[in-house]
Amino acid sequence: MNPLITLRVPATSANLGSGFDAIGMAVSLYNIFKVIELRPAGEYEVEAHGEGSRELSSPKANLVVKAYEDTCERWKVKGPGFSLWCHNIIPLCRGLGSSAGAVVAGVLIAKYLTGYEADEDELLRAMTVVEGHPDNVAPCYLGGMVVSCWDGQDLRYVNLPALPPEVLCVVAVPDERVKTSDARKALPKEVPFGDAVFNVGRAALLTAAWATGKWDYLKWGMDDKLHQPYRSKLFSGGEVIFSRVEALPECLSVAISGSGPSVIALVKGTTQRVAEAMCRTFTEYGVRSQFFVLDGSAQGARVDVSMELAEALAAAAGLSPKENTDVCSCEPGTADKAGGCR
């Protein structure tokens, strides 16, 4: 049976150094979600493969389903249940935006199964409401590097230029987890004024350097005093890995990815020594790890809608299917203001 909807969502690395809760980028590691068939409202079936397959096969534990239901409630629309097939490549609880990918997928499924006319801004607001912050969902949906701000109601975001081909992302993923809730608890309720001033300057430099292509400024721009000194204590080797990797001349900058424990380095030149230094550090602290060499200018979420979807929706509603003969492939920025495809 051909899937009715196929979605591909990228991993993301947020909190980039000084950009705590504000800056994130998509990287070229992808999860795939497929809506196989429709079911009665409120009924779901999930078949999960890859990362977290056992825990994510329960509809009650699957964030795609939760995001779908929350978004239908937000939009005050009723949608059908569905059978979901998942292939999860993005490691769970490692700071690479696996939950954001599920949220983005769930919101987009809600759009296509209900026909709700949501433009790009509303889709991002809905994603942010479910996730709680925009720094992962924005780059996951839009792709590339995104700076975003959220006040609980209104959202502002700006796409920055993509990394040049010669700058790659080396991501080391240790075989241990850090829950986002634990990473939040590790942060102080107040920080010294000097640390706040330090980060304001570094975050401004980071975005300006990124926008103008001054990649040699990234090491300064991604320096941080608000979250990394606290979160680096939550995983093995976290307090020494930065100095070791930054000492390599090909390393432009290094940071905790998301809330950790993965560590991301931006590299210009050969990636081998950076990857080896990162994984060797984890090994010294008794933790196995793997690394990925990824593109930091990855595409955002991609949606392929089968010509059979309209017929399936009509059948689920007990209506005659409307004429629909095309397969739609949508990426962010290609929808019109009514939320349809160009």
Quote the pLDDT of residue 327: 43
The neighbour count for residue 127, using CB atoms within 10 Å, is: 26
**DSSP β-bridge partners for residue 157:** 148
H runs (alpha helix) in the chain? 53-56, 63-75, 98-114, 120-131, 134-142, 180-185, 193-212, 218-221, 228-231, 241-246, 272-284, 309-317
How far apart (Å, rounded) are the C-alpha atoms in residues 60 and 81?
13
Residue 231 has pLDDT above 70, yes or no: yes
Q: How confident is the model at residue 93 (pLDDT cuts 50, 70, 90)?
A: confident
Region 67-73 average pLDDT: 97
Secondary structure (3-state) at 123: helix
* Residue closest to 292 by CA, chosen among 14, 28, 10: 28
Query: Cβ distance 248 to 211 under 8 Å?
Result: no
Task: Quote the pLDDT of residue 336.
Answer: 41
Q: Which residue bears the tokens 């700076």? A: 147
- DSSP letters, 190-206, are S--HHHHHHHHHHHHHH
Give the Cβ contact number of residue 19 at 10 Å.
26
Residue range 158-169: average pLDDT?
91
- Report residue 18's pLDDT band, with 50, 70 and 90 as the boundaries: very high
3-state secondary structure of 141: helix
Is pLDDT above 70 for 140?
Answer: yes
Tell whether the model's pLDDT for residue 337 goes beyond 80: no
What fold characterizes domain 5-160+297-330?
A: Ribosomal Protein S5; domain 2 (3.30.230)
The mean pLDDT of the chain is 90
Q: What share of the chain is helix, strand, coil (3-state, %, to 5)?
A: 35, 25, 35
Res. 264 pLDDT band, cuts 50 70 90: very high
Q: pLDDT value at position 335?
A: 45
Spatial contact of 281 and 241, defined as CB atoms under 8 Å apart: yes
Query: What's the pLDDT score for residue 332?
Result: 62
* Token reading at 50: 């890859």
Provide the sign of the torsion angle of the four alpha carbons 253, 258, 260, 262, taken in this order.
negative
- Token pair 């304001």 in the structure block, residue: 200
Contacts of 181 (CB under 8 A, 6+ apart): none
Cα distance between residue 314 and residue 131, in whole Å: 31
Residue 153 has pLDDT above 70, yes or no: yes
Could you tell me the pLDDT band of residue 329, with boundaries at 50, 70 and 90?
low
Q: Is the pLDDT of residue 259 over 50?
A: yes
pLDDT tens, 115-130? 999 999 999 999 999 9
Please, which pLDDT band fits residue 99 given cuts at 50, 70 and 90?
Answer: very high
| pLDDT over 80 at 339, yes or no | no
Ordered alpha helix ranges (H), 192-329: 193-212, 218-221, 228-231, 241-246, 272-284, 309-317
Distance CA 130, CA 126 (A): 6
CATH of domain 167-294: 3.30.70.890
Structure confidence at residue 328 (pLDDT): 53
* Mean pLDDT (whole number) for 149-153: 91
Out of 61-75, 127-141, 220-234, 326-340, which region has the weakest mean confidence (pLDDT)? Answer: 326-340
pLDDT band at 323 (very low <50, low <70, confident <90, very high): very low
Residue 324's CB: how many other CB atoms inside 10 A?
A: 16
Domain ranges of the chain: 5-160+297-330, 167-294
- What is the C-alpha to C-alpha distance for residues 184 and 259, in angstroms, rounded to an integer? 8
